[in-house]
């Protein structure tokens, strides 16, 4: 299997180095953000499609604090380091990093987009605030691209509900 030199990023200096190398090599970049707690086939399909958009795929995962705020006190199941390591095992992303704990406002998204300057931001059809994200991306020359239709039959939340019903 081809070793793509997968790297994990969770420090600003490493992210800066990655972005500088990307710029020097004139490589296109797709950005994906999300929770990625209980990984399943829909995550894999989504990331495969996102990877095809550009030379590089970078994934920002939500911090544990943000996941609790978004999904409740019993989440995430896997902490942010475990989620990062689990995604890394799929060898789809060129770089993975943990998003800031304060990442709920449009200004937070604008700051991230301004720093990373992705050519594409890949989302699924149920991603919230698509119009706002598309506007921010356009300000920096990027494009929001829906790469995967949401499958309501399979999600981490649905898996959690089924497990709870079974007493697991």
Q: Where are the domains of the chain?
A: 7-165
Structure pTM? Answer: 0.86
Note the pLDDT tens digit of each residue in 74-116: 899 999 999 999 999 999 999 999 998 888 788 888 999 999 9
Candidates 167, 125, 164, 166; CA nearest to 144 is 125
Q: Please state which CATH number belongs to domain 7-165.
A: 3.40.50.620
DSSP-derived 3-state class of residue 31: strand
């Amino acid at each position: 299997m081809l070793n793509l030199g997968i790297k994990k990023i969770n420090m600003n200096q490493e992210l800066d180095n990655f972005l500088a190398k990307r710029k020097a090599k004139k490589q296109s970049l797709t950005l994906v953000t999300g929770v990625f707690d209980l990984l399943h086939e829909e995550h894999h399909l989504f990331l495969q499609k996102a990877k095809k958009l550009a030379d590089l795929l970078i994934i920002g995962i939500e911090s544990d604090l943000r996941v609790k705020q978004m999904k409740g006190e019993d989440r995430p199941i896997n902490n942010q380091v475990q989620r990062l390591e689990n995604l890394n095992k799929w060898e789809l992303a060129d770089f993975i990093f943990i998003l800031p704990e304060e990442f709920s406002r449009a200004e937070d998204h604008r700051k991230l987009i301004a720093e990373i300057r992705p050519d594409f931001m890949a989302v699924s059809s149920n991603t919230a605030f698509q119009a706002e994200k598309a506007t921010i991306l356009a300000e920096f020359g990027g494009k929001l691209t829906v790469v995967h239709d949401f499958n309501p039959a399979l999600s981490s939340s649905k898996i959690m509900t089924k497990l709870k019903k079974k007493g697991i």
